[in-house]
Structure 1
């Protein structure tokens, strides 16, 4: 191309081999190799086009996923446990049992994404969980509820890691937080949309002889089935060859891939990269942080209608009053993500957002005024979505190449999503003092772990700089991917 004007950051521009190694820039210059660049104005148009075509489908599929997962909170307040003869303990078990299969299959699905291809894997999972949701509207026993939750967990296990990895296949490191925010905002919007949809569908109580909660499952499952069709046609295996891109834009996508070959690595499965991922302290620190943040996410998103009902709102009010809370959480995360990408820092935004959550849970535990307690849920929402979403971005941008990142994302989510089991057990009975107290403690622990990981990341960046300047000996065990000297970790 002749539109060569944009200089890439040092940690994104490596030209290399498929295993992540690369020649020094000076060596490339000596042999006359000039790295192709992209006109910033044309790249801006390209990014807008990618957002226009990819983001809505990514958002819709995750929206449908979280909708089908969390609607159990909406049907609880509509009489579902009584209709199938489930006790409070059995219902809590049904919430938790979802995560038994969910955490089991996350890492295998993440590693196999490229082998199975995003289109085939994501579409298949979408179809199966859609059918499971529809059939959930016809259960008549606790055993049927348990079975549907286990199948749902197994199918949805592959979705979030796969969508997160798909984002890394399209956008640069400094472009990812905003796109992860779009993805995570669906967690919030599914709560808002789920509350609104449940409010409407519960009015169908008695239609065709079915209870309103059954219609919630049936209609939402049909909606997810439509999204599965969009996934098949809308998420190509190779984003750089997407049908909506012009020839020039496809060429720009290939240049972008070449500029970040160090980050992307090989398309061939390398078990050495899998082993390296499991030896990286970043994985376990990130997983522990995500576990703490997900206790909030799953407790809040699943039980917010019940929390509001405990604050003396009726069944319909406890559903539609969730909508502004979820929307506010989504907006807060999107604003933070835009700033995070611009500054290329991640952890300070998590620390700041968690302060709002700490205050919110303290208010829920200590204040009895209904209006004040409702306001506290808005404060909690800031931490509920910013914390886990920004932490996922933080690990995404700091692990390379692809299969090392796939393993890390998958296992981080495996660690983190065991929080769903905890959430189902701590939010048992009104007024949910145990759940709020546990969530508050998890937030405080997360703050400590975030600071520890910040110091670890800073230590590695400093160590690389000193090695590059020859000030200390190079004792790195691994020297490819994110361990290369010119790969700067985002703090």
Structure 2
């Protein structure tokens, strides 16, 4: 017996799997999924896929942000770099990072996730190791440019991979795992740097050089785990039994029912390039990423400026990063539970506003250190929830791939800014600029909420026959039955 798929259920999914859906004359086979079986399946997917995804992003962000750890360990002095040159080295990473994101995202399916992400991980791991042997500022510029070109493909790729596995209402929590990795990388990077810096002088090599060499070797090990542990087709993953593969196929049917073709289409790319949601989301991401890249890269310097020593600085960053990551997981869980994105994003940003105000005020050191915890809430929750908000409101795959790549390209230009505003102690310019960015972000979030709400109301009026349907795009997320998340 066959039955049509409930449209509301179908549109709770934001991704389409590679497998063709079993459609016969517009009628789909029964795709009812038992909730208990699906819950068990999700737990298994989380156990096998999430640790690998988290580890590879952890190594990626660790290799990118460890420049902040080596800065306080004497690297600029050893390579005879001025503060301005070092800030340029931080910013130059994003020159290649931002231009590579959209192409890598579009190429994900053609190259396959395993080949693309493993290849990129191997190259940036080797570049990280070679960073331990640079002798001058020119060498630092070169390795940062290559690192940016490789790492630019990872986050859009991992994010798209998650949309191939999880439904819309399941995504915020999983995307949060990626951003938690940015926090963990800060905490882990601080602890690791603290330990490795004690190797200063071993084999005649400076401690900061050992930081690069050892962390690069760690990343190569992670790259091997990606190759062997990340299936190209989640529906046929090696760790699923036959019944679980059937459930994955049924979930694929639900997504494929109304999300459109998975075939590459320049038209879908053009639609994404003209979508106001993408640019509003990109503007929010730009503001939030100013916080993310400024805070994650220069937190050791900000804490050291409070009067702490080199080794104290490294381990004092750890609780700040952990708190920020934990708060993001909590916000993401609530966001999925209530299928609301913007309200939690706005609320989290208020923590950051208070935190940056305190950093700018003449208050005791203990209060300023407490302020870094408040900042961390907005630093990690903001970019992650905003990205999820875009994920769940764009379909099908290539439209979403373009949207994510473009949003990340716009957002990651903030990395160039972050490297220039945090130039010298006491970092008043950097903290003030970050405060202004988060306030602007709040306004753009409200504007995006208004736009999405107006789009939803327009589709409702068209569906009810109240107005003529003059929309140029009527498929994917512009289909009448596609329900937007606010």
User: TM-score, length-normalised on structure 2?
Assistant: 0.96
Q: How many positions carry a matched residue from both structures?
A: 484
**Aligned position for 2:187:** 192
Given that residues 124 and 151 in structure 2 are in contact (C-alpha distance below 8 angstroms), is that contact kept between their aligned partners in structure 1? Answer: yes
Given that residues 12 and 263 in structure 1 are in contact (C-alpha distance below 8 angstroms), is that contact kept between their aligned partners in structure 2? Answer: no
For the residue of structure 2 that corresponds to 1:9, the secondary structure is: helix
Q: Given the alignment, which residue of 43, 47, 60 partners 1:65?
A: 60
Whole-angstrom CA distance in 2 between matches of 1:8 and 1:473: 23
**Aligned position for 2:139:** 144
Q: Given the alignment, which residue of 147, 150, 164 partners 2:159?
A: 164
Given that residues 129 and 212 in structure 2 are in contact (C-alpha distance below 8 angstroms), is that contact kept between their aligned partners in structure 1? Answer: yes
For the residue of structure 2 that corresponds to 1:476, the secondary structure is: coil
Higher mean alpha-carbon deviation, 359-368 vs 419-428, is at 359-368
Whole-angstrom CA distance in 1 between matches of 2:424 and 2:326: 30
**Aligned position for 2:330:** 335
Deviations 1:215-241 (A, max 9, x none): 000000000000000000111111101
Report how far residue 10 of structure 1 moved.
Answer: 5.4
**Aligned position for 2:50:** 55
For the residue of structure 2 that corresponds to 1:38, the secondary structure is: coil
Q: Given the alignment, which residue of 109, 112, 124 partners 1:114?
A: 109
Given that residues 10 and 486 in structure 1 are in contact (C-alpha distance below 8 angstroms), is that contact kept between their aligned partners in structure 2? Answer: no
Over 6 Å off, 4+ runs: 5-8, 13-18, 20-23
Given that residues 395 and 409 in structure 1 are in contact (C-alpha distance below 8 angstroms), is that contact kept between their aligned partners in structure 2? Answer: yes
Report how far residue 457 of structure 1 moved.
Answer: 0.6
Given that residues 262 and 400 in structure 1 are in contact (C-alpha distance below 8 angstroms), is that contact kept between their aligned partners in structure 2? Answer: no
Report how far residue 269 of structure 1 moved.
Answer: 1.2
**Aligned position for 2:252:** 257
Given that residues 277 and 407 in structure 1 are in contact (C-alpha distance below 8 angstroms), is that contact kept between their aligned partners in structure 2? Answer: yes
Report how far residue 108 of structure 1 moved.
Answer: 0.3
The within-5 A match list for 1:278-357 is 278-357=273-352
**Aligned position for 2:203:** 208
Inter-CA distance 328–394: structure 2 relative to 1 (3 Å threshold): same
Report how far residue 368 of structure 1 moved.
Answer: 3.3
**Aligned position for 1:11:** 11
Whole-angstrom CA distance in 2 between matches of 1:21 and 1:352: 40
The yes-or-no answer on 1:101 pairing with 2:96 is yes
Report how far residue 7 of structure 1 moved.
Answer: 9.8
Inter-CA distance 13–133: structure 2 relative to 1 (3 Å threshold): closer
Whole-angstrom CA distance in 1 between matches of 2:422 and 2:61: 19
The yes-or-no answer on 1:454 pairing with 2:449 is yes
For the residue of structure 1 that corresponds to 2:481, the secondary structure is: coil
Given that residues 16 and 262 in structure 2 are in contact (C-alpha distance below 8 angstroms), is that contact kept between their aligned partners in structure 1? Answer: no
The within-5 A match list for 1:69-84 is 69-84=64-79
Deviations 1:3-58 (A, max 9, x none): xx99963523799999x9999xxx96xx7x55311111000000000000000000
Given that residues 263 and 402 in structure 1 are in contact (C-alpha distance below 8 angstroms), is that contact kept between their aligned partners in structure 2? Answer: no
Report how far residue 399 of structure 1 moved.
Answer: 0.2
Deviations 1:350-388 (A, max 9, x none): 100000000000000013311000000000000000000
Given that residues 125 and 158 in structure 1 are in contact (C-alpha distance below 8 angstroms), is that contact kept between their aligned partners in structure 2? Answer: yes
Structure 2: gaps (5+ residues):
none
User: TM-score, length-normalised on structure 1?
Assistant: 0.95
Given that residues 70 and 301 in structure 1 are in contact (C-alpha distance below 8 angstroms), is that contact kept between their aligned partners in structure 2? Answer: yes
RMSD of Structure 2 on Structure 1 (CA): 2.4
Whole-angstrom CA distance in 1 between matches of 2:15 and 2:54: 32
**Aligned position for 1:269:** 264
The within-5 A match list for 1:382-461 is 382-461=377-456
The within-5 A match list for 1:220-259 is 220-259=215-254
Inter-CA distance 400–15: structure 2 relative to 1 (3 Å threshold): closer
Given that residues 263 and 401 in structure 1 are in contact (C-alpha distance below 8 angstroms), is that contact kept between their aligned partners in structure 2? Answer: no
Higher mean alpha-carbon deviation, 432-441 vs 5-14, is at 5-14
**Aligned position for 2:463:** 468
Whole-angstrom CA distance in 2 between matches of 1:407 and 1:263: 19
